[in-house]
Structure 1
Amino acid sequence: MEADPQMEGMTVTRRHAVMAFGLLILAGGLVGCGKSAGGSASQSERSIRFINADGTITDIPARPRRILSTSASVTGTLLAIDAPLIASASAANGQYFPQWAGVAKERGIKNIWPAGDVGIEAAIAVKPDLIVVSTGGADSALAQRAELQAIAPTIVVDYGSQSWQYLAIQLGKAAGLENEAAARIAAFERYVVDARGKIAVPAGKVNIISYNGSGTTNPIATANGAHGRLLAGLGFTVEDPDPAWHAASEARGDFVWAPYEMLPRLTAATTFLLRANDERVATFLSDPVLANLPSVRARQVQSLGTNSFRIDYYSATQIVDGIVKTFGK
């Protein structure tokens, strides 16, 4: 596909957000319905017909005031657009993700259940007027969708194959917070542009790995996934893993879940490790199977931060700050 000349001056992150919005308009994925034929309805009266990630439709009769997120991976984006979130599922360990846990505490968000332990009675008790469910992941409540729909309008989103900006646009439409979503995306874009001017990007390509060692899969971020696009926006060129390495049952756009034995085939000069501390980086550098990786030979292996696996506004900001600290001019 040829590049759109009107987007040549934008960074990759901005282009993705703009393209995402355009796709929603073209697809008719989100349609606002005013009650008055003579003009637009007020925010409190406005109804929305939301097309879910699986193609089904959810009618939202009025602007939500009490949102329940059943997916911790979606909660960060809801917080970022100042959605009226009242409760959220947590990670499997019963804790909120560290990158936004402080924000959730300040706003009094109820920790309703850990991932994988959906409680319908708990959902009823918080009296939501909109429930958000993810299509997949360990924190998905899709299996309880029918029961949740009996409580309140329930929308289904896919956080695994798109950026947090695209997700913010979708959630902003569903919650009547389009302006807030657009403002957050624009502010982050400015932040990325400013950071790009502060760093010296190393020569060659980079790869992004969730390093788990032998005996299991080691997800490698794709160039078109959220991590790849974020680093591209900062000026890096991301090495794309071979899709044939994917060992998971479902194809994904953000990661190739590669067997450990595939890692030595990577060729980038720099490696970024997801959710890795200094000890994890040292383990990667000393792994004898990976000794001939160009990034290992050059000792150019860096952590993207301990909260970097799931990209939302908060973790993305932490990643940008870490990049500036490591590669600052």
Structure 2
Amino acid sequence: MRIAKTGFRDLRIVLAALFALLSWSVAIAGDGWPRTFVNVDGSRTEIPAKPQRILSTSVSTTGTLLAIGAPVVASGSAANGKFFAQWASVAKERGVENAWPAGKVDLEAVYATRPDLIVVTASGAGSARDMLDAFRQVAPTVLIDDGGVSWQALATQLGTATGREAEAAAAIADFDAYAAAARAKLRIPAGKANIISFNGAGQSNPIARTGGPHAALLTALGFTLEDPDPAWHTQASPREDFVWADYERLVDLTAETTFLLRVDDSKAAAFLNDPVLANLPSVKKRQVYGLGVDSFRIDYFSGKEIIDGIMKKFGT
């Protein structure tokens, strides 16, 4: 009889332990962890717990991670070995380490960082896609594609991967409110506008498409964007954000206002004084402006810089 009681007691202990484990599992599942992230290539990454130490392998992704308050401990930098200027001070304040310049992945740095999540972008100069297998030996690794998508769409994806959905939604709402407040105070020039990454003769001169993030921002501010002919595209694969056009195609543009990527107004003279472009409506009207030195990649931080620059030009 004593043995039976002991067995019954042991059974109760085991059942209690199993119940406690089940309760813990349900609590974790209810909190969203573990979760499965669907990568851009269709593969899936299991993320066991909310990340506390994130390694961003590409500088083009890091700004959005910082905007949603993700715990980035290290990031790849641009080819010049520097972080993007629009958020470099934020990265410094948060102690983000500079892991490596674009194109020079350092696996020793990956291990030294001790990440619990690694974020890799599938395209661009900072892509480390060919290192996915090595990264996944260190920590759960997600693959996203930040090329051609808005920072808001990227923030939503990264919010899912990092458990910061609310923070992503808050950053997007804050930015949208900032743009709406600016729009209410702008006097937009008549006619259409275009956005060009001006490189001059003998090179491709990317022109923003109406479906890209740069056009979306200017549209939100009240501009109507001229859409370049997709047939001008010189790259093998079409893009939703830009048409890579030959220099000679620029003469076919008709917008009355031109914004130039990667420069401020002081560098607009090269476009204004180009004799081949003299008959462009925007040149004739002298309505050619720099969109800002940090405008090539739009994120939460550079987007606000662009809005501020446009306010200075067209604010009432």
- Is this a same-fold pair by TM over 0.5? yes
Which of 163, 187, 200 is equivalent to 1:176? Answer: 163
Aligned to 1:8: none
Quote the Cα distance in structure 1 between the aligned partners of 2:184 and 2:150.
23
Find the partner of 2:289 among 294, 297, 302.
302
1:328 paired to 2:300: no
User: Unpaired runs of 5+ in structure 1?
Assistant: 1-33
Contact between 1:204 and 1:237, CA under 8 Å: does it hold in 2? yes
2:277 match: 290
Structure 2 match to 1:216: 203
Instruction: Report the Cα distance in structure 1 between the residues aligned to 2:48 and 2:240, rounded to whole angstroms.
Output: 33
CA distance in 1, matches of 2:71, 2:280: 47
Deviation, structure 1 residue 54: 1.4
Q: C-alpha deviations, 1:228-256, integer Å up to 9, x for none?
A: 00000001001111111111222211111
| Residue 34 (structure 2) aligns with | 47
**2:117 corresponds to 1:133:** no
Residue 276 of structure 1 deviates from its aligned partner by 1.1
Give the count of matched residue pairs.
Answer: 294
Counterpart of 1:147 in structure 2 is: 134
- Counterpart selection for 1:94 from 65, 81, 85: 81
- The aligned counterpart of 1:201 is 188
1:77 paired with 2:67, answer no
SS of match in other structure, 2:268: helix
Structure 1 distance, partners of 2:274, 2:24, is: 63
Deviations 1:98-134 (A, max 9, x none): 0000000111100000001011111111000100011
Give SS of 2:279's match: coil
The structural deviation recorded for 1:279 is 3.9
* CA deviations over 1:284-305 (Å, ceiling 9, x no partner): 0000111111000100001110
**What is the TM-score when the length of structure 2 is the normalising length?**
0.91
Deviations 1:46-73 (A, max 9, x none): 1111111111111111110100000100
> What displacement does 1:40 show?
5.0
Residue 114 of structure 1 pairs with residue 101 of structure 2: yes
Spell out structure 1 runs of 4+ moving beyond 6 A. none
Match of 1:208, SS?
strand
SS in 1 for 2:30: coil
Aligned residues of 1:160 and 1:252 also touching (Cα < 8 A): no
Which residue pairs with 2:223 in the alignment? 236
- Matched to 2:270, the amino acid is T
Question: Structure 1 CA distance, aligned partners of 2:264 and 2:309?
Answer: 12
Change in 2 beyond 3 A, CA 1:38/1:66: closer
Which residue of 14, 26, 50 corresponds with 1:63? 50
1:133 match: secondary structure: strand
1:251 is aligned with what amino acid? P
Name the CA shift for 1:215/1:35 in 2 (closer, same or farther; >3 Å): farther
1: distance between equivalents of 2:76 and 2:292? Answer: 23
More helix by share: 2
Q: Deviations over 1:256-287 (max 9, x none)?
A: 11111111111101000001133420010000
In structure 1, how many angstroms separate the alpha carbons of the residues matched to 2:238 and 2:115? 33
**Match in the other structure for 2:235:** 248
Q: Could you tell me which residue of structure 2 aligns to residue 7 of structure 1?
A: none
Conserved? CA contact 1:35–1:41, under 8 Å = no
Q: Residue type matched to 2:70 in 1? A: A
Do residues 267 (structure 1) and 254 (structure 2) align? yes
Instruction: Give the alignment partner of residue 317 of structure 1, picking from 289, 292, 304.
Output: 304
Residues 67 and 300 of structure 2 are in contact (CA less than 8 Å); yes or no, is this contact kept in structure 1? yes
| Alignment-derived partner of residue 26 in structure 1 | none
Whichever of the two has the greater Rg, that structure is: 2
Q: 1:114 to 1:189 in 2, by over 3 A?
A: same
Q: Which runs of 5+ in 2 are unaligned?
A: 1-22
- Identity score, percent: 58
**Deviations along 1:192-220, whole A, 9 cap, x unmatched?**
11000010011111000000111111111
In structure 2, relative to structure 1, the CA distance for the partners of 1:206 and 1:55 (3 Å cut) is same
User: Alignment partner of 1:59: what SS?
Assistant: strand
- TM-score, with structure 1 as normaliser: 0.87
